[in-house]
């Protein structure tokens, strides 16, 4: 069954299922935007009601995702067709598209400066792109096979997980100058900044998470995980790590880095994010075609939600309702 993973480099699977987005019931409702790689679409999930409320076609087997509520935008990356797309929020049809020759996979948004960053797996670089029209602005050099991207919450740092170099690259997000290349565990894939500004990498090859000080470039410690950690999220003073081959999430204390618990999820968990209020952790299960919703305090599972086929949700995918408060029209009225 693990062979499903090979679909990342197979032909395009076209599944055009367009749902209808309901009007947000609250100005502060959380929505999850889930890239479904195998069915080539985007599931829109109402996390208050724990239901899928829309399904948007995204050709080219999308993987990377970045929500930008300050821009009323959602950005997707489709590695198969090499396309970066910007959707409005709520999502419907693309507002802009840009083909990126190479191996685009990860995406992050600097909302303050109106820039999008996309990692190029094949060419050891990151594209810097204008958020509005998706015009290319610059290129940054990384280590081999950059995957995950993250911007610190204060907008000071941009980080990449350079998988085949066993390192993270840390850039000044304002000047785009390289500040550090830091050796972490083996084959880092996802990177995340904790609320206090530290950088964490999920090291797929060594079954660890590495904590790094982005200011000094110093490694602060490591966390042992289960098999093949993919990405990290933070809530309630804890870190949560998806373990692809263990069908679980490892939980650790964010300060001491001590292990706290292991939570069973759906099969092959990958993308992970935190609700706006910090009370829930949302996990995308790639083989189970579902989301697992976890209470970040009690560590209890509080819901399972069906998605499209092959949810990756690689990046930041949870957002509050759009600032504009615009209601989504039914598909027949677009």
Q: pLDDT category, 204, cuts 50, 70, 90?
A: very high
**Structure confidence at residue 324 (pLDDT):** 43
The mean-pLDDT minimum among 13-17, 173-177, 286-290 falls in 13-17
Measure Cα distances from 19 to 26, 74, 77, 175, 195 in Å.
Answer: 20, 17, 20, 41, 35
**Structure confidence at residue 37 (pLDDT):** 97
Asked if residue 246 has pLDDT above 70, the reply is: yes
Closest CA to 247 of 228, 233, 234: 228
The whole model's pTM is what?
A: 0.89
Nearest-angstrom CA–CA distance, 329 and 4: 34
User: Which pLDDT tens digit goes with each residue over 167-186?
Assistant: 999 999 999 999 999 999 99
Strand ranges across the sheet with 51-57: 51-57, 41-46, 30-36, 318-320
Nearest-angstrom CA–CA distance, 283 and 294: 8
Q: pLDDT category, 321, cuts 50, 70, 90?
A: low
Asked if residue 327 has pLDDT above 80, the reply is: no
Asked if residue 290 has pLDDT above 90, the reply is: yes
Counting residues of the chain whose pLDDT is more than 70, the rounded percentage is 87
Asked if residue 114 has pLDDT above 60, the reply is: yes
CATH superfamily of 2-322: YVTN repeat-like/Quinoprotein amine dehydrogenase (2.130.10.10)
User: Which pLDDT tens digit goes with each residue over 253-285?
Assistant: 999 999 999 999 999 999 999 999 999 999 999
Measure Cα distances from 315 to 105, 108, 118, 218 in Å.
Answer: 10, 7, 11, 24
Q: pLDDT category, 11, cuts 50, 70, 90?
A: very low
Asked if residue 211 has pLDDT above 60, the reply is: yes
User: Which pLDDT tens digit goes with each residue over 46-89?
Assistant: 999 999 999 999 999 999 999 999 999 999 999 999 999 999 98
Q: pLDDT category, 28, cuts 50, 70, 90?
A: low
DSSP state at residue 23: P
**Structure confidence at residue 19 (pLDDT):** 34
Asked if residue 325 has pLDDT above 60, the reply is: no
- Residue-averaged pLDDT of the chain: 89
Q: Decide: 145 and 121 in contact? Cβ < 8 Å.
A: yes
**Structure confidence at residue 93 (pLDDT):** 87
Q: pLDDT category, 206, cuts 50, 70, 90?
A: very high
Q: What is the mean pLDDT of residues 295-312?
A: 97
Count of helix runs (H) and strand runs (E) in the chain? 0, 29
Q: pLDDT category, 90, cuts 50, 70, 90?
A: confident
Which DSSP string corresponds to 218-265?
Answer: EEEEEEE-SSSEEEEEEETTEEEEEEGGGTEEEEEETTT--EEEEEE-
User: Which pLDDT tens digit goes with each residue over 133-166?
Assistant: 999 999 999 999 999 999 999 999 999 999 999 9
Q: Domain-by-domain residue ranges, the chain?
A: 2-322
């Amino acid at each position: 069954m693990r062979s499903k993973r090979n679909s990342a480099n197979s032909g395009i699977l076209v599944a055009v299922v367009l749902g209808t987005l309901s009007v947000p019931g609250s100005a502060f409702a959380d929505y999850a935007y889930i890239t479904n790689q195998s069915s080539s679409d985007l599931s829109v999930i109402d996390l208050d009601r724990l239901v899928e409320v829309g399904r948007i076609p995204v050709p080219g087997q999308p993987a990377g995702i970045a929500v930008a509520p300050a821009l009323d935008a959602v950005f997707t990356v489709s590695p198969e067709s090499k396309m970066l797309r910007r959707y409005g929020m709520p999502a419907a049809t693309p507002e802009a598209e840009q083909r990126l020759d190479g191996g685009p996979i990860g995406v992050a948004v600097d909302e303050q400066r109106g820039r999008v960053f996309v990692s190029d797996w094949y060419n050891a670089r990151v594209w810097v792109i204008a958020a509005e029209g998706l015009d290319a602005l610059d290129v940054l050099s990384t280590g081999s096979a950059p995957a995950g991207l993250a911007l610190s919450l204060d907008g000071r740092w941009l980080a990449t997980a350079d998988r085949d170099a066993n390192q993270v690259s840390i850039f000044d997000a304002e000047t785009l100058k390289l500040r550090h290349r830091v050796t972490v565990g083996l084959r880092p894939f996802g990177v995340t900044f904790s609320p206090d500004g530290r950088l964490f990498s999920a090291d797929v090859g060594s079954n660890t998470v590495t904590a790094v000080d982005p200011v000094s470039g110093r490694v602060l410690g490591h966390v042992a995980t289960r098999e093949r950690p993919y990405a990290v999220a933070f809530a309630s003073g804890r870190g949560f790590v998806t373990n692809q081959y263990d069908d679980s999430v490892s939980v650790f204390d964010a300060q001491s880095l001590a292990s706290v618990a292991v939570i069973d999820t759906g099969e092959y968990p990958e993308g992970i994010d935190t609700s706006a209020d910090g009370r829930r952790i949302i996990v995308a299960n790639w083989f189970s075609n579902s989301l697992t919703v976890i209470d970040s305090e009690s560590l209890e599972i509080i819901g399972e939600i069906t998605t499209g086929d092959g949810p990756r949700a690689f990046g930041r995918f949870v957002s509050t309702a759009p600032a504009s408060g615009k209601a989504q029209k039914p598909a027949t009225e677009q």
